Structure 1
Amino acid sequence: MTVLILTCEEDVTTDMVIVHLNATGVPVVRLDPADLTNGVALSGEYVHGAFRGHLSSAGRLVSIEGLRSVWVRRPGAPAANAAGASAWLAEESSQALYGMLRGSGARWMNHPDAAVRARHKPWQLHLAQRTGLPVPATLITTFPQAAREFAERYPDLVVKPVSGAHPQDPPRAVPTSRVAPDADFTAVAYGPTLLQRRVAKSADIRLTVVGERMLAARKAADPDADPDLVDVRYASSAVPWRPVEVPPRIADAVRAYLRGAELAYGAFDFAEDADGTWWFLECNQSGQFGFVEVDTGQPIAHAIARWLARPVADAQPEHANCTGSAMP
């Protein structure tokens, strides 16, 4: 049976996983839903209560009922590259592709419905708090006065986007930034703004979870770094990521988070303070992992490949299927 990977052409991180899948002899088809009607084709017939269909990409044909797993990595919007691209065609293509895949019986990393919900930052913070993860004081508001009052209670703040990347072409990441002590919050009225108490970091923590397997890495804070550069993605530092053990209490809470979110994969970001507390910042359901694997040597790509390659017969019941099981 075949592993289907839905991702964009530029996603080189996926190649790291495909190498391991190829080494085990598991068939793999990689395609971008954005190429539907322009290099990617689909067909499905409703027969005896199920769709029997096929997907075609780059000259390869795969039966939908012959899928063992689907990795929704970083797919483009359906039919975005079609000659007659439109919002209508995108919706038609999305309904056709994901509608048929939902009935395939394959395991998902991650299921589209769970992935959409998991991207909502307010929901993430709520779930993290509920499952026992420490969460910094946070405000999301369009009321300038509320922002001013929050800043009075927590004078040291950061501001970050609620949704993630800015929708440019290509999309650009918006860095988490420190809020100046004399900040004017008038502009808050023009769009939802996420303010959060800054954690005085001793280190950044990236915890990558594949099924039940946890691979954590720690990047110690550079004592010579600019204190206003709080986003680890943009702060230049020679300090490498190093493997680190996950505290048992955090491990239990993360497992509960993934069960609640129905995710098989999650990339968690924490800020470690001087007391060693891991403060939850976010969980990216399709977060990058290549940079951590390069620094630490942790076998993240191999763990993903093993999860995707697991026979369908090993699948768990529906409610547990999203979180997977321990990797052998």
Structure 2
Amino acid sequence: MSKDRPVLVLTCVDDPTSDVVIHELNNRGVPVVRCDPADVLACRLDVAACFGGDARAGYLQTESRRLDLSAVRSVYYRRPSSYAAPRGMSVQDGRFSREQAKHGMGGILANIRGRWVNHIWRAIEAEFKPTQLAVAGEVGFAVPKTLITNNLDAARDFAKDQGQIIYKPLQNSELTRADGNALMVWTDLVSPGELDESVSLTMHLFQECVDKVADVRTTVIGDQIFSVRIDSPYLDWRQDYDQVTYAAVDTPPQITDACRRYLARFGLLFGAFDFGIGQDGSWVWYECNTGGQWHWLELETGLPMTAALADLLEIR
């Protein structure tokens, strides 16, 4: 493949994971164009695409680079910003502006030919926890008993049947504390007494509590699979990274096969799978993040994950 065909990296400004991939591609002499699609609303990105007749795919102009969309080698869809209306707009105008940008940019970018890691539409489909749970069971993972509901009686009956349950968000949201710092909603135990009428205000995900001895993050990058055991005193190990220890482990063949079937069902080339290791050594599936973090695990274990990602994008 011609070396002048760039890799397009779609992500926000503050994304260290993309930084290391771009650095690796630069070291290999592979050109890269980095872009945050949301910049179209901040006057930092010009886009034009024509359709019909013999029209070309169009171009994308950042503050420093111009990209012919028909020349893209591959796309790394990582962590683009949410579309935010320009300052000073009314609420109605801002809503209109965001929707036009979202649908215009999304449609233009989705038409880029070449390898996607992962394609925007496939990634969106695979974000929904109920869909993940259904597919995970179908491909052979051990899936915890799970209830998704806004019905208080259903939640109380589930808690009574399972004995001990946990709550986890159906989707991570950008939340802040009163002081402006980020607010995280951790996976946590829920007692029956905590279930009240507020359950009816939105959808909730409740799950049986797995009697685990450790967690595992299994990162699939194309044909390569990397599993890291994560030991922590917390139910949700993300609560304190200073108390976490890591160790690279072999991935059981049945887990490898199920991971590949799962990604194939969604048309994905990358997936960050989370598991719990039960008292009997079995791996219990929790979720799969199509844009999950992985680089810190490479730093902790030495697993060659950056090189694997760059291989996938370089398409040698």
Superposition TM-score, scaled by structure 1 size: 0.87
Distance 1:200 1:44, change over 3 A: same
SS in 1 for 2:303: coil
Amino acid at match of 1:44: A
Residue 25, structure 1, aligned to residue 29, structure 2: yes
1:153 and 2:157 matched = no
Q: Distance in 2 between matches of 1:148 and 1:92?
A: 43
| Greater mean alpha carbon deviation, residues 41-50 or residues 297-306 | 41-50
> Do the aligned partners of residues 185 and 98 (structure 1) sit closer, same or farther apart at CA in structure 2, a change above 3 Å counting?
same
Please say if residues 165 and 208 of structure 2, whose CA atoms lie closer than 8 Å, have aligned partners that are also in contact: yes
Distance 1:53 1:83 in 2: 30
Most deviating of 132-141 and 97-106: 97-106
* Amino acid corresponding to residue 185 of structure 1 in structure 2: D
SS of residue paired to 2:56: strand
What TM-score do the two structures reach when normalised by structure 2?
Answer: 0.90
Amino acid corresponding to residue 68 of structure 1 in structure 2:
R
Match of 2:290 among 285, 292, 295: 285
The answer for the alignment partner of 2:97 in structure 1 is: 89
User: Superposed, which structure 2 residues align to 1:229-244 within 5 Å?
Assistant: 229-235=234-240, 238-244=243-249
Q: Distance in 2 between matches of 1:97 and 1:34?
A: 9
Q: Secondary structure at the match of 1:136?
A: coil
Kept after mapping to 1: 8 A contact 2:147/2:206: yes
2:173 is aligned with 1:165: yes
Match of 1:319 in 2: none
- In the other structure, the counterpart of 2:197 is 186
Asked whether the equivalents of residues 55 and 62 of structure 1 are also in contact (C-alpha less than 8 Å), the reply is: yes
Q: Gapped runs of 5+ residues in structure 1?
A: 312-328
Q: Give, in whole Å, the separation in 2 of the partners of 1:8 and 1:170.
A: 19
Aligned position for 2:262: 257
Paired residue secondary structure (1:86) = helix
| Counterparts of 2:35 and 2:16, CA distance in 1 | 13
Bigger helix share: 2
- Residue deviations 1:89-137 (CA, integer Å, cap 9, x gap): 2222233323223333221111111111111001100000000000000
Kept in 2: contact 1:13–1:288 (CA 8 A): yes
- Following the alignment from structure 1 to structure 2, what is the Cα–Cα distance between the partners of residues 217 and 307? 21
**Whole-angstrom distance in 2 between the partners of 1:118 and 1:80:** 27
Q: How many Å apart are 1:237 and its aligned residue?
A: 5.0
Work out the CA distance in 2 between the residues paired with 1:69 and 1:134: 34
Paired-residue identity, %:
36
CA 83–34 in structure 1, closer or farther in 2 if over 3 Å, else same: farther
CA gap of 1:79–1:48, structure 2 versus 1, over 3 A, is farther
Name structure 2 gaps, 5 residues minimum: none
Structure 1 window deviating more from structure 2 (79-88 vs 1-10): it is 79-88
Partner of 1:103: 111
Moved more, 30-39 or 170-179: 170-179
* Structure 1 residues 50 and 242: CA distance shift in structure 2, 3 A: farther
Aligned residues: 305
Q: Please state whether the residue corresponding to 1:146 is helix, strand or coil.
A: helix
Q: Identify the residue that residue 121 of structure 1 maps to in structure 2.
A: 129
Give distance in 2, aligned partners of 1:102 and 1:144: 40
Q: Distance in 2 between matches of 1:123 and 1:135?
A: 13
Alignment equivalent of 1:219, drawn from 202, 226, 230: 230
Equivalent of residue 302 in structure 2, options 297, 302, 307: 297
Q: Is the 8 A contact 1:158 1:178 kept in 2?
A: yes
Partner residue of 1:34? 38
Matching residue's letter, 1:215: F
Q: Which amino acid aligns with 2:245?
A: P
Query: Which whole-Å CA distance do the structure 2 matches of 1:79 and 1:54 have between them?
Result: 22
- Out of 53, 67, 73, the residue aligned to residue 72 of structure 2 is 67
Aligned residue in 2 for 1:138: 146
Q: CA deviation at 1:275?
A: 0.8
Which one is further off, 229-238 or 14-23? 229-238
Structure 2 CA distance for aligned equivalents of residues 142 and 103 of structure 1: 37
Tell me the CA shift for residue 170 of structure 1.
7.7
Whichever residue aligns with residue 114 of structure 1, its letter is R
Structure 1 counterpart of 2:130, which letter?
A: P
Q: Which amino acid aligns with 1:302?
A: A
Instruction: Describe the superposition over 1:252-288 as per-residue Cα deviations: whole angstroms up to 9, x where unpaired.
Output: 0110000011111111110111111111111011011
